[in-house]
A and B are shown apart, each in its own frame.
Chain A
């Protein structure tokens, strides 16, 4: 287990370094000068040159990368010269909003999808199973931002039940502001996870140890919950780890549609203004979040299934 953990940590560091270096090179390859974008049309050539120096853009790309990683080793993500604030401050005040959005979206999606998947597997080809199948395909096919726009028009604009924008202030207000975005992000996952659970549950329910349990007269619900579900849930746990990366990209659209603060909206804004320091810092943090999520899902899967543990 410890060797497995060490391997994962090494892999995580390597992925992060490669991702950040790639982004560093890509963002410099895109046409457009950050100084021009940041200072706007009223900037003189002297001001542009001055900003280049302040942002460190007057140095060769390789030197800029080395300086960034040197800073990183000292816990410094860089400095945003325009707002005169450390990049870490800017990112870490936005990150919690994205994390809470992803967490709540996954939570409600799993809470609904797993029972639906189990039920569908137990009552395969029933009317409910077929309805769930149709709904699942429909929700998977509709992009989250389309869902977001319609949810917003119905529940905020027409019915006036929920707020349309922002993240609210305080716990209760924050929760109210989270309903529509989390619905839009999570609904596709309900369909996806329910199909995934149904498929693996059907497979498990046909295995010998389940048949054995049935022959002992154990109730079907008990078999599903105690014997089959812990195994059937494994693919879902693994997928959720990878899904964090997908959810981070969904969050970009959702944060724009709902004018929510978050790392997605921050990256869009920073890319448009070629704010290199913020883009690199944000990509670094999202990479780390993704790597941590996949590692955590692997470890959870290992703890649920002794066979996986043995393979580590």
Chain B
């Protein structure tokens, strides 16, 4: 029989007391008003895996940042940067070699001993060996050389400038215990949702699928003490449900929908800070250059000029998002100052281009996902194109169907794809944004079927340059090439609106608003 703890007794007593409701405090909050400092936050999805070699969702990464150590980590703030975490020192020896030295005394839980260079080698190399979906984040990683217990060298086949802001401080750079993983999985494979050992400031104390994940302090942690005793993460996939949960007091930190931002700004919940951060997403309208109706560049350019981006954003985002200048968002190397085609477009120019192409009474299709925001974009574009005589048929599809449309291995649907609305999310290095549009990606993720030898060369060049200004020029040129093809109309990079209760916490976020829970402090 389960014993009744003091907390359980207090919860029961508190809930039963009649004064709760009259005090205006949610019952759930009273019941959870436990001793100690508890951070209650919303995540956009539940956990599928906690193995850093297979992490795919932001919600998982936010949690695993708390339970595993990395060599480096993202700096909280409004500018992208990194700082040391498990590494005492890390340096680029030459374009393909990075030497690191670990801090001493970082322990794995469960008597798996100290975190060593062997664990670093195991953690990084297993991503490649296990052919993980996130393997591309490690670029051309070849292997890790172990020099001694605390030192090693990460060796790449080719220069990989993205290493500092993509794999090292991100999830794929999280370090697991070789001994623990081998014991749990025999072959060092995917350990799913049961971490065999922890190396971060928190441990996963409890996880109820689709309900909550509870992190508590790691008693073996020797580093700086994080601000909260417990972190309770509630998976709330629906943005509107999350907004209601915040308003009801069930969570104290959440990302909200851009379409709700204006309402929250005009009538903010009590004690709330509203933060707006540039997201790492990019949304655009793509055009299949191989489709007979879109083969003529004048038709594609006419569509570019006919789309009034600010008007689209007013409809879909309630005017709370600014027009994109390309695919690389503000704050990331390679962000362009402006587009080649002005965001407002020009209908007369569009008509001229259609005349030049000799096209009249054109009917096209636009594929998109069936969420409300994307549907609003599609409907606005439909209305805009009708002004130049283009009739647009909108096919709103569920995500599972949509994401297979342009993939050649999934059948012949790619041949019928004409216009489509895409949203990708990137990591904070320009490489992660442009690499999907090289010729090798045609029929995979390059649904525009955009082919440019120059673009491919620049993609390779961008990875071998360390100077940020020089790199920026490369990626700006690449976006010029994309736009000049007529196959892209860049819409927005969006912003991430975040609500948090300033009376409960000092939040710490990456520049894109991603929470860094271990840096949160009680107010």
Contacts and interface: CB of A to CB of B under 8 A. Distances in A.
Contact of B210 (A36, A39, A94, A156): A94
B56 to A, nearest CB: 6
B219 interface: no
Contacts of B457: none
Contacts of B244: 152-153, 156-157, 164-165
Contacts of A34: 400
Contacts of B251: 165
A100 to B, nearest CB: 13
B78 interface: no
B27 A94 contact: no
B8 interface: yes
A42 interface: yes
Contact of A162 (B8, B27, B237): B27
B11 A173 contact: yes
B262 interface: no
A93 B403 CA distance: 30
A43 B136 CA distance: 9
Contacts of B238: 256-257, 259
Contacts of B56: 39-40, 42
A266 B210 contact: yes
Given A45-B444, A163-B27, A259 B400 contact: no
A45 B440 CA distance: 11
Interface in B213-245: 234-238, 241-242, 244-245
Interface in B1-56: 8, 11-12, 15, 21, 24-29, 31-32, 48-49, 56
A70 B408 CA distance: 34
Q: Which of B191, B249, B397 has the most CB of A within 10 A?
A: B249
Nearest to B241: A259
A37 B403 CA distance: 7
B131 interface: yes
A172 B409 contact: no
Contact of A257 (B8, B241, B445): B241
B409 A45 contact: yes
Given A45-B444, A165-B236, A170-B11, A176 B49 contact: no
Nearest to B29: A163
Interface in A69-90: 82-85, 90
A41 interface: yes
A24 interface: no
B15 A37 contact: no
B404 A32 contact: yes
A266 B29 CA distance: 26
A297 B278 CA distance: 56
Interface string B118-147: 000000000000010111110000000000
B520 interface: no
Nearest to A157: B247
B401 A42 contact: no
B232 to A, nearest CB: 9
Nearest to B134: A42
Given A157-B248, A164-B244, A259-B238, A47 B190 contact: no
A30 interface: yes
A59 interface: no
A259 B234 contact: yes
Contacts of B401: 30-32
A272 B400 contact: yes
Nearest to B15: A172
Contacts of A286: none
Nearest to B400: A32
A221 interface: no
B211 A166 contact: yes
B27 A176 contact: yes
B100 interface: no
A31 B192 contact: no
A257 B410 CA distance: 34
A41 B48 contact: no
A43 B134 CA distance: 8
A166 B410 contact: no
A160 B407 contact: no
B208 interface: yes
Interface string A45-80: 111101000000000000000000000000000000
A193 to B, nearest CB: 28
B494 interface: no
A84 B190 contact: yes
A250 B289 CA distance: 44
B26 A163 contact: yes
Contact of A265 (B28, B191, B210, B247): B210
B80 interface: no
A36 B407 contact: yes
Contacts of A260: 210
B8 A170 contact: yes
B79 interface: no
Contacts of A166: 28, 211-212, 234, 245, 250
Given A83-B192, A163-B26, A164-B245, A259 B237 contact: yes
B193 interface: yes
A249 interface: no
B83 interface: no
Given A36-B403, A40-B133, A259-B237, A84 B192 contact: yes
A169 interface: yes
Nearest to A265: B210
B468 interface: no
Contacts of A271: 398, 400
Interface string B185-212: 0000011110000000000000011111
Nearest to A176: B27
B404 A33 contact: yes
A90 B403 CA distance: 25
A32 B212 contact: no
Interface string B387-411: 0000000000111111111010111
Contacts of A257: 238, 241
Given A161-B26, A176-B28, 4 more contacts: A47-B131, A169-B211, A172-B31, A176-B15
Report, nearest first, the 4 A-B pairs whose CB atoms are least far apart: A84-B192, A163-B28, A261-B210, A164-B248
7 contacts: A37-B399, A39-B56, A42-B133, A50-B131, A93-B208, A153-B244, A261-B210
Interface of B: 8, 11-12, 15, 21, 24-29, 31-32, 48-49, 56, 131, 133-137, 190-193, 208-212, 234-238, 241-242, 244-245, 247-251, 397-405, 407, 409-411, 413, 424, 436, 444-445
Interface of A: 30-34, 36-37, 39-48, 50, 82-85, 90, 93-94, 152-153, 156-157, 159-170, 172-173, 176-177, 256-262, 265-266, 269, 271-274
